[in-house]
Every structure is written in structure tokens, then in C-alpha cells.
Amino acid sequence: MSELPDILGSTWPVIQGPIGSMNSPEMVAAVSEAGGFGMLALGFIRDIDEARSLVNTVRGLTDKPFGANVVIMNPLHREILEVLAGAGVTTVTTSVGQPGDIYPLIHELGMRGLHVVLSLAHAVKAETSGADGVVVAGCEAGGLRSRKPETSTMILVPLVCDHVSIPVVAAGGIADSRGYRAALALGAQGVQVGTRFLVSKESIVHEAWKQTVVDCGDGGTDLLPVGNMMTRAVVTPGIRKLMEDPSVNLEEELLAVDRTKAWETGDLENALAGAGQVSALIRDVKSVREIIEEMVS
């Protein structure tokens, strides 16, 4: 079994969490150049040439290690892994799907992988399916969640550490050196950070999205329905109004909004500005280097 520093090869065990298409190649390279582990979000990509172009762009910007998130249920996962292996990427994270379906291939290609889990049962299954480590995401994290009752990082991380022998990465609620040190104290070997990097100078999300997170206070996010999943997002005044109106089907209303347009224009009143509970701790927009240096200080 390898320890996390060996699996990542980065100066610091700080992984950039995938945030969909917002993980631009420039941002991924900036995280890696600053000593973290930059990661492309290739999970939902449907065009292998686009995946190749993204990977090559990052490779052209940094010679430091970086990785990518691969969604197991994506029918292109084999081709994506082959592109990554061909570009010298040695570590990926995997999510959404059965890890047993992908780990033999990851190892065959000479790579290693960390499987993203939201529960103890899935962490144990990931280990028995050959994952080299797990990213354990507590319910305070940004991103997609299940509809089941879920556990916070503070409890889930030590719980998983008690039951698996592979390295554990803590995700959810980590934005600064206090969260980083707490994660290590809980038994994690590293952290995965989403919301804090979303609100960075290098992040390509609209300034209005960054400001919405900066303005978000205690209790300012909630789990909101998207299809058969939930996602954590900031409850804007517009969304609060919809939530409080008993005649409104919130899920239908949220699905009816043109999200891509809202993200492009910054008109987020009724659109999902995805972010974790940790938004309450984020008060400014910093460079990824400033974020990482403060975190590991």
C-alpha cells in the first residue's frame, strides 16, 4: 500500500476538488504550480478530443503532477484514462459507479486512483474493489449529494479511518489552515478542497458567484433537489422565496432555470450557485497560491 504523498507526488496533500467545467486548465495548473494537486473535472465529458485538448493544455502549462476526476458511469471512461495515461498522469479520482468496474483498468495503465465516497459502506467497498485511497466527503461539502441522511466530515473521516487501511482524504468544510490541521488530526492524510478554490482569483466562475459565496453566512446553504440527487448551493433570496411557497414545486422550478446562462451572466437569483457550508468562513477572493500557503502554514 502507498501513502498519499507518494500517490499524489505534489508538495502538499491538498487536492483541488473537481467543480465541473469550472476547473479550467489554467486553474488546474495554478494549483499544481502552487504545490497542491490540480485536478481536471473530466467526469461528464462526452467528447474524447475535448478531454485530450484539456489534458494537453494543462501539460503545456505545468510539469508538476496533476490529475483528473473520472466518472465510472461515463461510457468514455476507458478512453479518458488512456488519454490521461498517455499524457503522463499517474493519479486520478473516480466517482459515481462501481469501483470494481474501473480499478483493474486503472492499475493496468500504471495509474493509481482515489475513489470519492459519501459513506462508510462505500469506503469499505472501495477498498475491497482495489482503490488505492478514498476521498471521504462529509455532508457539508459542495457538490452532488445523495437523498439519504448523511454524516458530517468531523464524524465520517475518523469513522472511515477506523475501517480501512488505505489512505483517506478529507473533503467538505475545509477552507483554511484550521480545517486542514483538523482533517489531519482526524486521521486523513490530505484534503480535497472545492468551495475555497471556486472563490479564487484563478477560478473562472462569474464574479457574482464568488461574491454570493463571500456574502453567504452561517446556515446560508442548503441541499437542493436536482434530478434524483441533491446538490448543496447558496440559498439566495429568490430561492428562499421559492422554498417558502407551498404552491411551488422547487425541483421543477430549479430545473426550469437555464443554469448555463445564469452562470455565464451572473444572474443567480433563482439559479444554483453551488457551494459548501464552508462558504460562511470565506470572506475574500484570494489566489490559489495564497490559499494553499495559508492552509499548510
Per CB under 6 A, which region of 76-84, 137-145, 251-259, 261-269 contacts ligand FMN? 137-145
**Contacting residue, 36, 67, 99, 194, with ligand FMN by CB under 6 A:** 194
Q: Does residue number 24 form part of the binding site for ligand FMN (CB under 6 A)?
A: no
Q: Does residue number 173 form part of the binding site for ligand FMN (CB under 6 A)?
A: yes
Q: Does residue number 38 form part of the binding site for ligand FMN (CB under 6 A)?
A: no
Query: Length of the chain in residues, anyone?
Result: 297
CB of 97 to ligand FMN, least distance (A): 12
The secondary structure of the chain as a DSSP string is: ---HHHHH-SSSSEEEPPBTBTS-HHHHHHHHHTTSBEEEE-TT---HHHHHHHHHHHHHH--S-EEEEEETTSTTHHHHHHHHHHTT--EEEEESS-GGGTHHHHHHTT-EEEEEESSHHHHHHHHHTT-SEEEEE-TTSSEEE-SS----HHHHHHHHHHH--S-EEEESS--SHHHHHHHHHTT-SEEEESHHHHTBTT--S-HHHHHHHHH--TT-EEEEEETTEEEEEE--HHHHHHHH-TT--HHHHHHHS-HHHHHHHT--TTS--B--GGGGG--S-B-HHHHHHHHT-
Q: Does residue number 193 form part of the binding site for ligand FMN (CB under 6 A)?
A: yes
**Contacting residue, 13, 36, 220, 276, with ligand FMN by CB under 6 A:** 276
CB of 241 to ligand FMN, least distance (A): 22
**Contacting residue, 99, 143, 167, 190, with ligand FMN by CB under 6 A:** 143
Residue 143 cell numbers, joined:
457538490
CA pair distance 240, 166, nearest whole angstrom? 41
Q: Does residue number 195 form part of the binding site for ligand FMN (CB under 6 A)?
A: yes
**Contacting residue, 8, 28, 41, 170, with ligand FMN by CB under 6 A:** 41
CB of 245 to ligand FMN, least distance (A): 25
Per the CB < 8 A criterion, the answer to whether 244 and 276 are in contact is no
Q: Does residue number 274 form part of the binding site for ligand FMN (CB under 6 A)?
A: yes
**Which SS3 state, helix, strand or coil, does residue 117 take?**
strand
CA pair distance 129, 53, nearest whole angstrom? 31
**Contacting residue, 27, 76, 126, 198, with ligand FMN by CB under 6 A:** 198
Q: Does residue number 95 form part of the binding site for ligand FMN (CB under 6 A)?
A: yes
For ligand FMN, the closer of residues 83 and 277 by Cβ is 277
Q: Does residue number 99 form part of the binding site for ligand FMN (CB under 6 A)?
A: no
Residues 50-89 that bind ligand FMN (CB under 6 A): 69
For ligand FMN, the closer of residues 112 and 196 by Cβ is 196
CB of 106 to ligand FMN, least distance (A): 16
For ligand FMN, the closer of residues 65 and 67 by Cβ is 67
Residues that bind ligand FMN (CB under 6 A): 17-20, 41, 43, 69, 95, 116, 137, 140-143, 171-174, 192-196, 198, 274-276, 278
